Structure 1
Amino acid sequence: MLGELSLPEIDILLKQQVTGRIACVENGIPYIVPVNYFYDGKSVISHSAPGKKIDIMRHNPAICFQVDDIQNIFNWQSVVAWGRFEEITEMGEKEQAMQAIIHRIMPFSMNPHDHPSHGITESEYDIGTKVDLVLYKIVLIKKTGRFEHR
């Protein structure tokens, strides 16, 4: 059976998952990459080192975000959401965002010494002391979801 997810079901899927995909566009050319994230009920919150994705989103903040849960080819759920990139620059908000990401991602780590900032900082207390870490949110404007169950 194919169907549409309700808004509450969409929010549940967004909150359950930890990895999604951000699609952005530069000069008419789409670019899509996986990201680890935290969903706060309004925005997808993530972080990155500077690079192509951040450069594109700073230039064109219109973003598409996709997440799914695929059990098998006949049992899956998927959400596509559209939103606006906003870089987090205020130190208090950056610290809160990074803490939320850490608390969401770390239960999935195989090594308790791993830190989800990809080597940019050595501990969560270094957030803000390294200029390379970019924290951002995608403020969601529209969300749709589909599923198939057998």
Structure 2
Amino acid sequence: MLGKLNHTQIERLLNEQVVGRIACQRQGELYLVPINYVYRDGCIYAHSGEGKKIRMMRENPKVCFAVDDIRSVFNWQSVVAQGTFEEITDIEEKQQALQGIIHRIMPLVTKPEGHPSHGITEKESDVGTNVELVIYRIRLGETSGRFESAE
């Protein structure tokens, strides 16, 4: 059976997942990349090093965000949302957002010493020495969700 997710189901899927995808566009070029994220108060919070995705979103802040829970070809849920990129510059807000991201993905990390680029490491001195983290949010607007199940 194919169907639409209701608002509660969309919120649950956004909260449960840890990896989503951001699609951005600049001067006719499309770019789609996976990100680790945490969902809170209608926003996707994430971080990145400086690079193509950040440059594109700074130039054109309109993005699309997608997340899935695929259990099999015939048992899945998917959410697609339109959103707006906002770089977080306030130090306290950046720290809160990064802490939320780290707490969300930490249970999935097997070797903390191997992920300083994500702000996850055993020694704080390993974080940010070569990589300047950009902390940002995607303020979600229109969302839609679909599912397929055998029931």
Provide TM-score, normalisation by structure 2: 0.90
Deviations 1:70-107 (A, max 9, x none): 00000000000011000000000000000000000000
Map of 1:22 onto structure 2 = 22
**What do you get for the CA RMSD once the two structures are aligned?**
2.3
Name segments (4+ residues, structure 1) moved above 4 Å. Answer: 119-131
Give distance in 2, aligned partners of 1:36 and 1:13.
14
The Cα of 1:140 is off from its aligned counterpart by 0.3
Q: 1:140 and 2:144 equivalent? A: no
Map of 2:52 onto structure 1 = 52
Deviations 1:52-82 (A, max 9, x none): 0000000000010000000000000000001
Q: 1:83 and 2:83 equivalent? A: yes
Q: How does 1:70-149 map to 2 (within 5 A)?
A: 70-115=70-115, 117-118=117-118, 123=123, 132-149=132-149
Map of 1:63 onto structure 2 = 63
> Which stretch of structure 1 is more off in the superposition, 93-102 or 105-114?
105-114
**Does the Cα contact within 8 Å between 2:116 and 2:126 map onto a contact in 1?**
no
The Cα of 1:114 is off from its aligned counterpart by 4.5
Structure 1 residue runs without a partner (length 5+): none
**Does the Cα contact within 8 Å between 2:119 and 2:127 map onto a contact in 1?**
no
Residues 120/13 of structure 1: CA separation in 2 closer, same or farther (3 Å cut): closer
The amino acid across from 2:4 in the alignment is E
Residues 129/114 of structure 1: CA separation in 2 closer, same or farther (3 Å cut): closer
**Does the Cα contact within 8 Å between 1:115 and 1:124 map onto a contact in 2?**
no
Aligned length: 150
The Cα of 1:28 is off from its aligned counterpart by 1.4
Give distance in 1, aligned partners of 2:91 and 2:4.
39
State, as a whole percentage, how many aligned pairs show the same letter: 57
Structure 2 residue runs without a partner (length 5+): none
The Cα of 1:6 is off from its aligned counterpart by 0.4
The Cα of 1:46 is off from its aligned counterpart by 0.2
Secondary structure, counterpart of 2:117 in structure 1:
coil
The Cα of 1:118 is off from its aligned counterpart by 3.7
Map of 1:32 onto structure 2 = 32
